Structure 1
Amino acid sequence: MKTQHKLIFGNSMSMIEILDESIHLIITSPPYFNAPFDYKGLFENYDQYLGMIRRMAKEAFRVLQEGRIFALNIDDMLVNGEKYPITADAIKIFQNVGFRYRDKIVWKKPDGYLRISKRSGVLLQNPYPMYFYPDNLLESIVIFQKGKFNYRSIPKEVREKSKIDKKEFQNNNWHKTIWEITNVLPGSKLEKGVAAFPDELPYRLIKLFSYVGETVLDPFLGSGTTMKVANQLNRNSIGIEIIRDLETIIRQKVNSNNLEIVERDKGKYRFVTLDYIEKRKNVVN
C-alpha cells in the first residue's frame, strides 16, 4: 500500500502546515527537562518547559480528529537533586486544553540499564539510612483522548485490514498496564546522541489506536522512529523536528520514496530559546 510522509523542520509549538482535525493518532516523546545526560541546561526553568508542552498540546488538540488518541511518552526528571513531577503536570496541561485522561501504561526497561544504575550505587558507597536513590527503569505512556470515538465511522473493509492479531496481543502482554520493552541502547548507530524510543513502542500504539491508511503525527520526531513504523504498518505520517541535521538519519529509517520535506524560516520559528538549535546540535554530535 502506497503511503505519504511529510517531514517538517520547525518547532511543534506551531503546526501551521497541518489542517484542523486531519490527524488520526499522535505519538511522541518530548525532550526530557534538563536531563543531565542529554539536555542539561536546555531550558531556562521548569515553567518554560511546561509552557512548551502547553503550546504543543493546544496545537495537537486542534489537528487531532474527534475521538482520537494522543500517546505521550514522558517521565519525571531528577535535576540537580530536585525531582520534577513532569508526568502529573503534563496530565493537567492536556486536560486543561481539552483532552480526556484515558489511561497510563508503564514502560519497563530491562534490569541493569547501565545508563542510570549509578543512582543506587550511592548507597553501596554509603551503606547508611538516607542515602537510598532507586534506579529508574520506568517511563510513562500517558493515553489522552479527544472526545468520543465513533466506531461506526470506519468502513468494514478498513476494519478488517487493520485487525489486531489476538495471539500477538496476548502473548506479548499488550493487555497489561506494564509493557516490558527493551530500550534503544547507548551506541545504537542511527540513534546516537538522540533519546529515541524503540520501534516496539509506536508499533503497539499504532496497531492499537489507528487504522490502515490513516495519518500518524509525531511532534518531536527525533530520529524518525514513529514515521518509520507508520510506514511499515501502512499508515501515513507527519513528523515535526527542530534539528535540520537529522534529515539523513530520518531518510535512512523511513526508507520511503514518498517523503516530503518542509523547512520553515529559521528566523521566524524558534523552539524555546535562541540558542536551542546549537545546544541540540551539540547533543546530536
Structure 2
Amino acid sequence: MPQELKNLIVFGDCRNMKELPDGSVHLVVTSPPYFNAPFDYPDLFKDYDEFLELMRDVAKEIYRVLAQGRIACFVTQDVRVKGKLYPVPADILRIMMEEGFNYRDRIIWRKPEGYIRISRRSGVQIQHPYPMYFYPDNIYEEILILQKGKYKYPRNKPELQSSQIDMQEFNREKWYLSVWDITNVLPLKGRIEEGIAAFPEEIPYRLIKLFSYVGETVLDPFMGSATTLKVAIELQRKAVGYEIDLEHLDVVKRKLGIGQTRLFNSDSSNSSPFEIIIRNDAKHLRTWLQEKVKRQRSVAQK
C-alpha cells in the first residue's frame, strides 16, 4: 500500500519525481510546454526531438507514480513555429501508448471566437483573397485522456457519497460531450498569471471531479502557475506539483495563498498546507535560456 502523500510543491525537473513513491498518485492533470511556441516557449528546446525526449522521460515517470487503472490528462495543441506545424498532441499520444498507457478519450476544448490570443491567421486570406492563402484561426485545444491498465470500480467506498458528481451541473454544462466550450485565460496585466500560459480552472475542475475521489492525490508535473493544485485543494484532494522554472515561485504562492516565505526540506515541519522543495535542478528559466542562446552562438562562431 503506497504511503499517504502530503500537499507538495517541488521546483525541479519532473523527469525525476523521486519524492513520489510508486503508485501513489490517482490522477494527473497537466499542460506540458507547447514545444517552442512563440510568446510562451521560444527556443526552449534545441529541436523537436529534444522535446519528444522530454515527453518520453516524463511519460515513464507518470506511469511509475500513477496507481493502477488511473487517469493522466494532457491539455495540449499543435504548434506552429516559423511556419512549420508540429503535431504535439499526436506525438504525446503515441509516446504515452508506447510507454504502456491505454488511449481512453479525447476532449476538444473550444474557446470563444472573440478570445483568440495570438494574431488572427485568417487575415492572410483577407489580404489575399485567392486560393492557397488560407490559414484558419485556431480556437481549440485537445485534452488527451490516457489510462494505466484497468480500473477496479469500488462497491463500498466511504468516498463514494462525498465524491458524487452533481448531475444537474453535468447536464447543464454539457460535460457529456466530446467538445467543451470554455473561455480561455489571457495573460493580461493585473492577473496573477501575467505572462504565463495558464489554462482555465474549469478544465481541472471537471477532470478532477470526473476521475478522482475526495482525499486522493492529483499531480501536475508541469505545474506552471499551479491552477491544477488550487482546484484540487478546493475539491478536497491532495495536490502535488513539479515546476522547473523558479520564476513561477511567487505566482504559485500567491495563487495558493501560501503566506510563508521560508522554504523548507522534506524533513521540516511548517504550518503551511504545502511543503515546498527547491532542488538543485530548478532553473530561473529566462536567465537559463539567455545563457543557452549565448552558448549556442559562441559554438556556431567557432
Q: TM-score, normalised by structure 2?
A: 0.86
SS in 2 for 1:24: strand
Q: 2:121 aligns with which of 110, 115, 119?
A: 119
2:158 aligned partner: 157
Distance, in Å, in 2 between the alignment partners of 1:104 and 1:19 is 28
Aligned residue identity for 1:261: I
SS in 2 for 1:173: coil
Q: CA deviation digits over 1:240-282, x for unaligned, max 9?
A: 011223222212212263111011123xx6799x934978xxx
**Residue identity in the other structure for 2:84:** E
> Which of 33, 38, 44 is equivalent to 1:42?
44
- Structure 1 partner of 2:278: 263
Say if 1:210 and 1:276 are closer, same or farther in 2 by CA, change over 3 A. farther
Q: 1:275 aligns with which of 288, 298, 302?
A: 288
**Cα offset, 1:116, TM superposition:** 2.8
Which residue identity does 1:67 align to in structure 2? Answer: G
Q: Which residue of 2 aligns with 1:282?
A: none
Deviation at 1:42, TM superposition (A): 1.2
Q: Find 1:232's aligned residue among 231, 234, 240.
A: 234
Q: 1:9 to 1:277 in 2, by over 3 A?
A: farther
Unaligned runs of 5+ in 1: 280-285
Number of aligned residue pairs: 274
1:7 aligns with 2:36: no
Write the distance in 1 (CA, Å) between the matches of 2:60 and 2:218: 17
Letter in 1 for 2:67: Q
Preserved contact between residue 230 and residue 237 of structure 1 (Cα < 8 Å): yes
Moved more, 230-239 or 39-48: 39-48
Q: Distance in 2 between matches of 1:156 and 1:278?
A: 53
Larger-Rg structure: 2
Letter in 2 for 1:259: F
- Matched residue, 1:60: 62
Deviation >6 Å, runs of 4+: 269-272
- 8 A contact 1:228–1:255 mirrored in 2: no
For 1:80-91, what aligned pairs fall within 5 Å after superposition?
Answer: 80-91=82-93
Return the alpha-carbon distance in structure 1 between the equivalents of residues 69 and 233 of structure 2.
Answer: 23
Instruction: Provide, for residues 148-207 of structure 1, a one-character-per-residue CA deviation record: whole Å limited to 9, x for no partner.
Output: 11112x743210000000000000010000000000023061111111100000000000
Residue 31 of structure 2, aligned match among 22, 29, 48: 29
SS at match of 1:21: coil
Q: Secondary structure at the match of 1:119?
A: coil
Contact 1:13 1:271 in 2 (8 A): no
* Deviation of the 1:104 alpha carbon: 0.2
Q: Secondary structure at 2:214's aligned position in 1?
A: coil
How far, CA to CA, are the matches of 1:270 and 1:258 in structure 2?
A: 24
Runs of at least 5 residues in structure 2 that lack an aligned partner in the other structure: 259-271, 293-302
Answer yes or no: is the 8 Å Cα contact 1:164–1:207 preserved in 2.
yes
Indicate conservation of the 8 Å contact 2:187/2:197, yes or no: no
